[in-house]
Chains A and B, each alone.
Chain A
Amino acid sequence: MGSQTTIVLIDDDQDACELLKMQLEGTGRMEVTYTTNSDDALVIIEDKRPDIAILDINMPGTHGVKIAESLAANPVTADIPVLYLSGMVTPGEVHDLAKGDGQPPLISKGSPEEELIGAIDKLTSA
């Protein structure tokens, strides 16, 4: 595979962003841009047009679900897949939620790294 998977990550916690950046870029085939200010999310995603957007849900600025809705409503970003990453739910609930129609899939912050990478691969391979 010649090209890298480009990822924009929105999470209000700097440490979370740093960790994910390190883990994902550690695979050697992903490139992560992040911001901890969710109000900048739409601008950055529209600008970068990444292969996937990973969104935290509960954030002090714009709410993750709101960002996902705005992305879907914007023709420029509508085809960018979204993955929620949240501390709100258990791995079991993630599984159930993922079955819901039209909802972006969701990964718990407690899930192992492999699961996250697997989910990204699945969403970007289509």
Chain B
Amino acid sequence: MQNTFSHTILVVDDNALNLHLLTTILTGAEYTVLTCGNAEEAQEITDKSSPDIILLDVMMPGMDGFSLCRELKQNKRFSDIPVIFLTSLSQQEDIVEGFNAGGSDYIVKPFNRQELLARVRNHIRLHDMLMENKRLTRLSEDASRSKTEFLASMSHEIRTPLNSIIGMAEVLSETPLSREQQQFVSIFRSAGESLLEIINDILDLSKIEAGQTELEAIDFHLSSLLDSVVSILSVRAAEQNTRISTYLAPTVPDAISGDPTRLRQILINLLGNSLKFTENGSVDISVQTDSTDTLLFSVEDDGIGIPPDKQKLIFESFTQADSLTTRKYGGTGLGLTICQKLVTMMGGKIWLESTADLGSTFFFTYPFQKAVNSPLPAAEKHNPPISCELLPTARILLVDDNEDNRNLLCLYLRNTPFLIDTAQNGLEAVEAFCRNSYDLVFMDIEMPTMDGYEATRKIRRWENSEQQSATPIIALTAHAFVRFRNKCLEVGCSDYLTKPVRKNTLLQTIHTHLNIQPNAQTAEKEQEAPPMKPDTQDLPHVILDAKIRKLIPRFLENKKADIVRMQETLESDKYEELKKQAHTVKGTSWMYGFKSLGDNCLKLEKAAAAGDRKLAEHLLTEVAVYLDTVIIGYRSPDSKNDSGE
């Protein structure tokens, strides 16, 4: 303990001789010494220099040492500085008062030089330890507080570029590629997806550990949940030539109440884990009643099994049976940890029985309640690919400050009938929104100048003041935490997508929101459209009455000419004229049975009435493409009226 050089000692004594003596002793021991002759001065020096320890006389003119000590101890800034009284007052009660006033030690004059130094050294050491301890506590508190924040922002930072990587791979895979290139792309796509999976697992685990995961209690069908789990993993099972079977004991009620999302997550993890270690074999999931209010799930495989000494470790984070396993089978080793935490949260237990080379069975118990109401069949998370041609023309505002993201989403929507406008921040978004009319908005949340929350609030306020119905606003964010999602909904967003957004999810979302929450224009369109059946195939096609067949070539020719004429009209900004032209083409198109052509001309008519050049241009392109690509079928005269466009 020789590094005393850095410590500063304040000596307070009204006796100059004492001050001199103490200074000599303490500087001799390589302390830095400050001195003063009264309590008031001592306060000033303490305030300015923050000494590490104070040697304090008691009897001084003005404020006495005990009072000064009490004052210092009451001040948060100085309360940690140890005070050693150094006084000729040697009565028992004086000593007690000194400690009561907050003193750390009490030395009676005349003092022994060695003892004084030993005590000073000791208190400085204790003080240092206390400070270090406090510092560490503060650090660990800060660390745990910022861990969640850190994870949130880390996930954001990783997801944003990952969004571009996975998305671009997806777009690239849809372009003409050689077989070899196709393989390369699929590798970088699946690598991106594994990375995403790892991030999701880590986030999930940290949320559970931070106590941020809340369980839901909703009614669901166990059998459809099992079906969906199996269907998600069936492709993988087939690739490994492994059969999955499920058994639901007759005593198990089908409709139960609980958290289907978490139960599904547990089952997917367990089943996925079993599949990982099983080739050319079978995996059996069974559900039985353990007691009246507890179910016993088991997932049994005949794979490689787990040696006894590793069985306990298997539920710990980042652990697999051995490092060779990791290299061979991959995975983060987080899946089972997540399962264990979730099962425990739900009040159940998880364990495993396994014999090396024969296979493993994972068991878990699941306390449940019977469903109050008979739930609707669980909605499949499995979305079929969306065909763009089924979607109506719509104008979409895409708001994102990241150019890569904007480009990616525009690429996703490249061959769709949507007209995309972009904005780089909330301010631009609000301006664009008030200027043009949109059917849907994709709103990034984290943006400079004005963030997505604020922009959404402003848009909702504007719609209110203009008495417009709410346009669907879909929040886009790389944050995966529920509270971000809730905040989005609070400020008025209609839905929420977490980046990276996949093409199919994007189209699905557009589809959902343009149908379920049609804005004024779409609703009107639906009423106004003649009663005909919707398109049912991918390419624009139409089935017409065979009787009018010979009129069709000329009709198409004339309408193409009409489109050219309308383009010219638009060029010269004659909107009133364009409106009339569109009106005529619309009526004739409907008469012939070209419903979607007529519908688009109706939109064109309205765009012209509103003087919306960009939308009009877009719609003209749409109808021109339609006329060039439409496939026409004819229904025979005796089957008329059973099929529309």
Contacts and interface: CB of A to CB of B under 8 A. Distances in A.
A35 to B, nearest CB: 15
Contact of A15 (B527, B531, B559, B583): B559
Given A58-B580, A109-B587, A19 B592 contact: yes
A113 B545 CA distance: 10
Given A58-B583, A58-B584, A110 B551 contact: no
A112 B545 CA distance: 11
Contact of A20 (B558, B580, B591, B641): B591
Interface in A101-126: 108-114
A47 to B, nearest CB: 26
A22 interface: yes
A92 interface: yes
B551 A26 contact: no
A14 B558 contact: yes
A32 to B, nearest CB: 14
B547 A26 contact: yes
A60 B580 contact: yes
Nearest to B527: A90
A48 to B, nearest CB: 23
A13 interface: yes
B551 A18 contact: yes
A12 to B, nearest CB: 6
Interface string A1-45: 000000000001111101110110010000000000000000000
Nearest to A109: B587
A88 interface: yes
B588 interface: yes
Contacts of A86: 587
A60 B527 CA distance: 27
B592 A15 contact: yes
B529 A87 contact: no
A22 B551 contact: yes
B333 interface: no
A108 B598 CA distance: 12
Contacts of A92: 527
Contact of A109 (B545, B580, B588): B588
B583 A88 contact: yes
Interface in B517-554: 527-532, 545, 547-548, 551, 554
Nearest to B547: A26
Interface string B574-587: 00000010011111
Contacts of B598: 87, 110
A56 interface: yes
B590 interface: yes
B547 A12 contact: no
A17 to B, nearest CB: 9
A15 B530 contact: no
A57 to B, nearest CB: 9
A12 B530 contact: no
A50 B527 CA distance: 34
Nearest to A60: B580
Nearest to A17: B588
Contact of B591 (A26, A90, A109): A109
A15 B554 contact: yes
A19 B588 contact: yes
B583 A109 contact: no
Contacts of B584: 12-13, 16, 58, 87
A7 B554 CA distance: 23
Contacts of A60: 580
A15 B588 contact: yes
B555 interface: yes
Given A15-B551, A19-B592, A22-B548, A108 B530 contact: yes
A46 to B, nearest CB: 25
A19 B587 contact: no
B588 A16 contact: yes
B640 to A, nearest CB: 9
A12 B591 CA distance: 14
A8 to B, nearest CB: 18
A15 B558 CA distance: 8
B311 to A, nearest CB: 70
A97 B529 CA distance: 17
Nearest to A14: B558
Nearest to B556: A15
Nearest to B637: A26
A100 to B, nearest CB: 19
A16 B601 CA distance: 15
Given A87-B583, A109-B591, 20 more contacts: A13-B584, A15-B555, A15-B559, A15-B588, A15-B592, A16-B587, A16-B591, A18-B554, A22-B551, A58-B584, A86-B587, A87-B588, A87-B590, A87-B598, A90-B529, A90-B530, A91-B531, A108-B590, A110-B532, A111-B530
Interface of A: 12-16, 18-20, 22-23, 26, 56, 58, 60, 86-88, 90-92, 108-114
17 contacts: A13-B585, A15-B588, A16-B587, A16-B591, A19-B592, A22-B551, A58-B580, A58-B584, A87-B583, A87-B586, A87-B587, A87-B590, A87-B598, A88-B583, A92-B527, A108-B590, A109-B590
Interface of B: 527-532, 545, 547-548, 551, 554-555, 558-559, 580, 583-588, 590-592, 595, 598, 641
